[in-house]
Amino acid sequence: MQTLSTEAELAAHLKADAGRAIVRGTLERVSKAWLGTAVVTDDGEMVWVSYGAPPGGWEPLLGRFLRVEGLLAMTRSTIEQSLVAPHLLSFGAPTEEKRELAALEGKTLRLAGLAQNAPSGRTLMVEQQVISLDAAKWPEALVGKRVSLGGTLRRHTNGWALDDATDATAC
């Protein structure tokens, strides 16, 4: 079974109508054209698993990097109105994956952690490690909350930094 973790891999799998796959990414609540729950790949492609609330028992995994096996399709159903986007259907239980930051250096990825303000700017606490973002400050509504955002991971004098960080999504 093919493991998919980028937009290009997902598109090729869908084009080939290859069926079941393992999708890897961060579980997030998303509000784009629809409100729902998706596995978001490191390059930002969303694979929808539900509209509305996360599937039963998945709530504690929001903001976690995981893998899920299921049937990959471009729409949820041919009968009901559905967002034309990748969907994972008939999926099994998700499995959380731990990632070592050192192995991800220089890569574009999504990270989830606690939003914190430091004297030097915004930070993200991920697995007991502080990731520096930029000189801006988090809005008060997000401080201390779990958020997810993308960027390029690099070593920083005091640990790690995420360059070119995308807009944060509350988990």
Around Cβ 148, how many Cβ atoms within 10 Å? 25
pLDDT beyond 80 at 40? yes
Calculate the alpha carbon distances from 77 to 35, 81, 85 in Å: 17, 8, 11
| Gap between the Cα atoms of 164 and 166, Å rounded | 6
Q: Are 13 and 5 in contact (CB under 8 A)?
A: no
Sequence-ordered list of residues with C-beta below 8 angstroms from that of 103, at least 6 positions apart, any chain: none
Calculate the alpha carbon distances from 38 to 109, 120, 123, 137 in Å: 16, 32, 24, 27
Same fold, 3-96 and 102-170: yes
Q: Over range 62-79, report the average pLDDT.
A: 83
Chain centroid to CA 129: how far?
18
- The CATH number fitting domain 3-96, selected from 1.20.950, 1.10.3470, 2.40.50, 3.30.450: 2.40.50
In CATH, the number for domain 102-170 is 2.40.50
Total-model pTM: 0.83
Q: Are 111 and 162 in contact (CB under 8 A)?
A: yes
pLDDT tens digits for range 27-36:
998 876 668 8
Chain centroid to CA 1: how far?
21
Q: Are 10 and 44 in contact (CB under 8 A)?
A: no
pLDDT tens digits for range 71-109:
999 876 554 545 678 899 999 999 999 888 899 999 999
- pLDDT > 90 fraction of the chain, expressed in percent and rounded: 60
List 146's β-bridge partners, or say none: 114
Domain ranges for the chain, please list them: 3-96, 102-170
